[in-house]
């Protein structure tokens, strides 16, 4: 049987073989953007495979890969790797949140049938503490976004070592962006080849067609011409491997992270300014609401323009937040709790209803918008309250939600503006509803009936058994 040189079988997932090659290049793709599927198909054409770092909470969301896309990649030989649940900068969240972000993300990938061993830090930021969490959650390696020679760092080391100097901080030649040309990529490879080889993991984000390329996007035609050129460099010993193939190591079992403790709205009176770790995946840079209010994030959608202001004279404490919408065609603007796994978002119980409350003044009507988190960490719009009227003086807005949907374990909510005007809010809170008196009486009645029914049935069964019980010597036959 002849084996095509470009088939994946010719390049088994062997650590030893990867090490034997003088220069190894890895195509790594961050965030699981749907447009990366086109790049994967190009790589497959040349017998190459990529490492795809997946934000589990984004899988299936608009512009992101679907679960079916991930299975397609894995079936082709691409590596499915971890990139947390919600894409937060790990050093800027609590240790418990970081552990859930890393472990839960990996466990979700495993539940979906993948074997993740590689990880990439959102925003490329890490610390000794986050490296330890990534290791403890079962990953064998982690990739950063800087460290090697690139247009942004001409004096940096030309290649990562195999095995890497620090397996939980694998260095790369910056992030490939729209300014890189085929010559830039070729230069990185040929320089490494001429200086003893080593490992070159390249970081890609969005893959774009000729038009509509944003700053961190790379044209598909560039991926194609680079892969075509690389395929010819097998002759000089330069090969393409996934990160998992180069770093090696077994697939370790799932490690659970403790669930978040129950809490209400954190920083509900909007007094504390701070970073909650938000990173915008499209630019892989921090995206804080301006001004940043700890545990809160801007959640705008649709076509509208709005600004946020931190103003004195809150209903509770010193500060409140004012939203001013200057133009509106569709959608809304609002401040809601940071989408995470429970550091800021509110842990809730399926089937339970909650009383939401806040104080506000507004020049137009406003309403609560409520989101919930699924098991995989994806945030979905759930529901909205009725509208509250425009009011010039502080007034309270309260609403009881329907029972939380099955499978939802977190909530995030806030008052939203969906027309031009201004809205000031302060002093948000949430409380689980208490079971009503009538419901309680009905429950007790039902329980009594069940117990009585059970007792009657039990007595009848006992009588029947007594009538049927044979003599002891017959039973032992
Ligand atoms: Zn990312």
Say yes or no: 181 and 35 in one domain: yes
Boundary (domain end) residue, out of 196, 226, 247: 247
Say yes or no: 185 and 331 in one domain: no
pLDDT at site 445 = 72
In-domain check, residue 258: no
Among the ranges given (3-12, 44-53, 240-249, 332-341), the one the predictor scored with the smallest mean pLDDT: 3-12
Counting every residue written for the chain, the total comes to: 477
Say yes or no: 68 and 207 in one domain: yes
Domain that holds residue 317: 279-432
Strands (E), 237-316: 238-240, 279-280, 285-286, 296-298, 304-312
- Cβ burial of 334 (10 Å; 0-12, 13-18, 19+) is buried
Ligand 1 midpoint to CA 446 (Å):
52
CATH number at residue 332: 2.60.120.260
Ligand 1 midpoint to CA 141 (Å):
16
For residue range 393-421, list pLDDT tens digits in order: 999 999 999 999 999 999 999 999 999 99
CATH number at residue 106: 3.20.20.370
How would you write 125-188 as a 3-class SS string?
CCCHHHHHHHHHCCCCEEEEEEEECECCECCCECCECCCCCCCCCEEECCECCCCCCHHHHHHH
Name the helix (H) or strand (E) containing 37: helix 36-45
Say yes or no: 182 and 241 in one domain: yes
Among the ranges given (31-40, 287-296, 339-348), the one the predictor scored with the smallest mean pLDDT: 287-296
Say yes or no: 296 and 243 in one domain: no
pLDDT above 90 covers a percentage of the chain that reads 77
Say yes or no: 137 and 39 in one domain: yes
In-domain check, residue 477: no
The pLDDT-based confidence of 201 (bands split at 50, 70, 90) is very high
pLDDT at site 254 = 97
Ligand 1 midpoint to CA 83 (Å):
7
Q: Which stretches within 232-360 are classed as H helix?
A: 243-247
Top pLDDT among 255 and 445 is at 255
Say yes or no: 119 and 219 in one domain: yes
Per-residue pLDDT averaged across 182-208, rounded? 96
In-domain check, residue 22: yes
How many distinct structural domains can be found in the chain? 2
Which residues are bridge partners to 325 per DSSP?
306, 421
Residue-by-residue DSSP string for 94-114: -HHHHHIIIIIHHHHHHHTT-
pLDDT at site 30 = 97
Ligand 1 midpoint to CA 203 (Å):
10
Q: What is the DSSP letter of 316?
A: S
In-domain check, residue 129: yes
Q: Which residues have a beta carbon within 5 Å of ligand 1, which is an ion?
A: 30-31, 122, 281
In-domain check, residue 448: no
Ligand 1 midpoint to CA 14 (Å):
27
What is the average pLDDT score of the chain?
A: 88
**Exposure letters 201-226 (e unless 16+ CB within 10 A, then b):** bbbbbbbbeeeebeebbbebebbbbb
Q: Report whether pLDDT(337) > 80.
A: yes
pLDDT at site 9 = 34
In-domain check, residue 329: yes
pLDDT above 70 covers a percentage of the chain that reads 85
Say yes or no: 323 and 408 in one domain: yes
CB of 378 closer than 8 Å to CB of 340: no
Ligand 1 midpoint to CA 281 (Å):
5
Measured at the CA of 295, the angle between CA 289 and CA 297, to 5 degrees, comes to 30
Ligand 1 midpoint to CA 340 (Å):
15
pLDDT at site 54 = 98
Ligand 1 midpoint to CA 326 (Å):
32
CA pair distance 360, 46, nearest whole angstrom: 59
Considering only CA atoms, give the Rg of the chain: 28
Say yes or no: 71 and 189 in one domain: yes
The pLDDT-based confidence of 437 (bands split at 50, 70, 90) is low
Boundary (domain end) residue, out of 432, 451, 472: 432
The pLDDT-based confidence of 434 (bands split at 50, 70, 90) is confident
Top pLDDT among 460 and 13 is at 460
Ligand 1 midpoint to CA 385 (Å):
34
Measured at the CA of 309, the angle between CA 306 and CA 314, to 5 degrees, comes to 130
Ligand 1 midpoint to CA 86 (Å):
10
Ligand 1 midpoint to CA 376 (Å):
17
Ligand 1 midpoint to CA 127 (Å):
17
**Exposure letters 83-109 (e unless 16+ CB within 10 A, then b):** bbbbbbbbbbbeebbbbbbbbbbbbbb
Ligand 1 midpoint to CA 279 (Å):
8
Q: Report whether pLDDT(41) > 80.
A: yes
Say yes or no: 220 and 320 in one domain: no
Top pLDDT among 193 and 452 is at 193
Per-residue pLDDT averaged across 112-124, rounded? 97
Maximum Cα–Cα distance across the chain: 95
Structure tokens at 25: 């290049």
Instruction: State yes or no: cis peptide before 406, omega within 30 of 0.
Output: no
pTM, entire model: 0.85
In-domain check, residue 447: no
In-domain check, residue 63: yes
Say yes or no: 100 and 194 in one domain: yes
Say yes or no: 291 and 213 in one domain: no
For residue range 128-159, list pLDDT tens digits in order: 999 999 999 999 999 999 999 999 899 999 99
């Amino acid at each position: 049987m002849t084996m095509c040189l470009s088939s994946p079988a010719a390049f088994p997932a062997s650590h030893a073989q990867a090490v034997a090659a003088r220069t190894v290049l890895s195509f790594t793709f961050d965030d699981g953007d749907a447009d990366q599927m086109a790049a994967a198909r190009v790589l497959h054409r040349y017998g190459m495979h990529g490492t795809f770092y997946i934000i589990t909470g984004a899988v299936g969301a608009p512009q992101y890969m679907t679960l079916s896309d991930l299975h397609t990649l894995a079936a082709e030989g691409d590596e499915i790797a971890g990139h947390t649940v919600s894409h937060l900068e790990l050093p800027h969240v609590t240790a418990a949140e970081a552990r859930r972000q890393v472990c839960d993300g990996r466990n979700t990938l495993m539940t979906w049938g993948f074997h993740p061993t590689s990880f990439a830090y959102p925003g490329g930021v890490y610390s000794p503490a986050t490296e330890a969490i990534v290791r403890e959650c079962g990953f064998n390696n982690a990739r950063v976004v800087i460290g090697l020679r690139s247009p942004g760092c001409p004096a940096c080391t030309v290649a990562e070592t195999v095995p890497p100097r620090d397996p939980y901080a694998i260095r790369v030649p910056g992030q490939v962006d729209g300014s890189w040309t085929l010559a830039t990529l070729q230069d990185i490879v040929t320089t490494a080849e001429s200086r003893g080889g080593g490992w070159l993991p390249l970081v890609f984000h969005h893959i774009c067609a000729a038009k509509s390329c944003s700053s961190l996007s790379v044209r598909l035609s560039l991926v194609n011409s680079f892969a075509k050129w690389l395929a010819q460099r097998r002759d000089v010993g330069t090969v393409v491997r996934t990160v998992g193939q180069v770093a090696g190591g077994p697939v370790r079992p799932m490690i659970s992270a403790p669930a978040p403790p129950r809490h209400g709205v954190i920083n509900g009176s909007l007094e504390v300014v701070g970073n909650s770790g938000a990173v915008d995946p499209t630019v892989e840079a921090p995206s804080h609401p301006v001004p940043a209010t700890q545990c809160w994030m801007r959640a705008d959608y649709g076509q509208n323009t709005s600004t946020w202001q931190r103003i004195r004279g809150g209903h509770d404490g010193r500060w409140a937040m004012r939203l001013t919408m200057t133009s509106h065609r569709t959608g809304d603007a609002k401040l809601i709790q940071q989408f995470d796994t429970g550091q800021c978002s509110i842990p809730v119980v399926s089937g339970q209803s909650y009383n939401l409350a806040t104080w506000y003044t507004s020049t137009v009507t406003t309403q609560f918008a409520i989101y919930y988190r699924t098991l995989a960490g994806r945030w979905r719009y759930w529901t909205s309250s009725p509208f509250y009227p425009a009011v010039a003086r502080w007034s309270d807005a309260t609403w009881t939600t329907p029972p939380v949907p099955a499978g939802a374990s977190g909530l995030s909510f806030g008052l939203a503006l969906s027309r031009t005007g201004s809205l000031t809010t302060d002093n948000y809170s949430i409380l689980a509803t208490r079971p009503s008196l009538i419901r309680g009486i009905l429950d007790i009645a039902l329980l009594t009936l069940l117990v009585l029914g059970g007792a009657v049935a039990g007595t009848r069964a006992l009588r029947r058994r007594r009538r049927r019980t044979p003599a002891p010597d017959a039973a032992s036959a």
